[in-house]
Structure formats: C-alpha cells, structure tokens
C-alpha cells in the first residue's frame, strides 16, 4: 500500500512539473512571438536617409515635421533627426540651438504633446549630414493611438541649419518668431513630402503581461485537472480494496 502511495505521489509530482515547465515554456514562446511581431523598442516616423535622394530645407526659426500615424501604446524616449549644420562664413564659435517635439492631431487642431531637451550644436565649414538624438524629459510622455507630427526647430547665432526632406508621407512647415514650441500649431503649411525624422519609444509591458498570465492560468488549470483525476483514481482504488476486504 505504501509503495502504491509513493508511486502515485511521484507520478503526481512528475505531471505537475511537466505542466509547469510547459506553461512557462508557452509563456516564453508567447513573449518571444510578441517581441518578434512588435519589438519592445520601436519607432514611428520616417528613418529614411533623404540626404541621398532628397533636398534640404531650413529649420532656422521654422518648425519642420513629418506626419506619423498609429503608434502602439508606450513611452516615448527620443526624437532622431538628420541634420546638415552649415556654419557658412561665420566665426568658429557659431552655435545652433535645436529642439524637437511631438504634436498630436485632435479634432481640427494640431496640439503640442511633448517636447525634448534643447541641444547646443556647432556647425562646420563643409558639413556632412548626421543623425542627432534629442531625448524627452522625465517623466517620458506616454503615447496612445492617433496621428502625430514629429518636428524640429532651430535658433542660431549665425549659419544655416538644414533638415532633409523627400518622400510622400506628409510634411509640415510653420514659421515662428521665437525659439519656442507653440501649444497649438497655427496655420501650418502642409506638403505631400516627408522628412528624415522619427520618434523612438518603448512598447508598454502591460500589453505583454496577458500572454504570460494566460500561460500561468493554463498551467495551473492543467495541474488542477491532473490532481483531480489522480484523486478520483485513488478514491476508486480505495473503494475497490474496501469491497474486497
């Protein structure tokens, strides 16, 4: 009798272990599949290098941006933009102050959603196009589904800050008379072009947890069913043994 009990316990332990391992494996598979389909860190906007087949437009006292729709839920980390910083014939200490921002379309307005840090950059006599990263301040802005404009703006002491445009995504231009990102975009000029600028963000882990939770629930349910089946078998065996006594 003791040997039978021990055997049952070993079988039960083995089945529970297999179930748990299967559940954890399923969770990791779901997690990996989610990351393949929707990476944890991703971007929206336009990361194409238009310096190779586009043209330049100034961002001196001008907001320039690209249209980008339907990001997934997550926290925005930074905006990256391809710039050409030409100091022209200015003095060696020529300086550019540049910052970026996100605007969101709401009803009939384009409203400021978040603004990045301001970076102090220096131009060159014969510049080459370079990608520059502008980080968002803490707390990082949380993105929801919708249509956004990813934009850049520059103030200069002298020289010529340029951004590269091309493509057909949707381009926004807005002249300003001060180095401030307005709360609402007023009468922007919209063109059927694009620009080399994009926003990097992290997909919220809240949307990965359901897969892991479902795997744990499935594993727990399977273990409960196995335990119940073994208990029933043991009960039937005890009844038979009692009748045979």
**Per CATH, which fold does 41-205 belong to?**
Jelly Rolls (2.60.120)
Whether 24 contacts 112, CB under 8 Å: no
Distance between CA 114 and CA 112 in Å, rounded? Answer: 6
Q: What is the pLDDT along the chain (245 residues), one digit of tens a residue?
A: 555 555 555 555 555 666 666 656 555 555 445 544 555 889 999 999 999 888 999 999 999 999 998 788 899 999 999 999 998 776 666 789 999 999 999 988 999 999 999 999 988 888 899 999 999 999 999 999 899 999 999 998 778 999 999 988 899 999 998 899 999 998 899 999 999 999 999 986 554 445 455 555 555 665 565 666 566 666 655 555 555 55
- Tell me, yes or no, if the pTM score tops 0.95: no
Distant-in-sequence contacts of 6-13, Cβ < 8 A, 24+ apart: 8/230, 8/234, 11/230, 12/226, 12/227, 12/230
> What is residue 59's three-state secondary structure?
coil
């Amino acid at each position: 009798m003791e040997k039978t009990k021990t055997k049952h316990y070993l079988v039960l332990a083995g089945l529970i272990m297999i179930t748990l391992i299967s559940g954890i494996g399923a969770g990791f598979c779901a997690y990996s599949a989610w990351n393949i389909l929707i990476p944890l860190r991703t971007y929206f906007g336009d990361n194409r290098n238009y310096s190779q087949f586009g043209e330049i437009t100034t961002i001196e006292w001008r907001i320039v941006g690209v249209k980008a729709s339907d990001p997934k839920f997550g926290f925005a980390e930074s905006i990256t933009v391809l710039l050409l910083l030409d100091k022209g014939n200015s003095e060696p200490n020529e300086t550019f102050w540049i910052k970026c921002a996100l605007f969101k379309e709401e009803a009939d307005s384009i409203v400021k959603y978040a603004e990045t840090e301001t970076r102090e950059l220096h131009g060159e006599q014969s510049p080459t196009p370079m990608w520059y990263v502008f980080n968002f301040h803490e707390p990082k802005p949380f993105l929801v589904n919708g249509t956004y404009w990813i934009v850049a703006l520059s103030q200069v002491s002298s020289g010529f800050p340029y951004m590269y445009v091309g493509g057909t995504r949707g381009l926004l231009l807005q002249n300003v008379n001060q180095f401030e990102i307005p709360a609402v975009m007023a009468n922007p000029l919209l063109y059927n072009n694009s620009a080399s600028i994009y926003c990097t963000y992290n997909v919220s882990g809240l949307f990965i947890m359901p897969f892991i939770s479902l795997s744990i629930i499935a594993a727990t349910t399977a273990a409960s069913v196995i335990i119940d089946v073994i208990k029933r078998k043991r009960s039937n065996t005890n009844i038979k043994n009692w009748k045979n006594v």
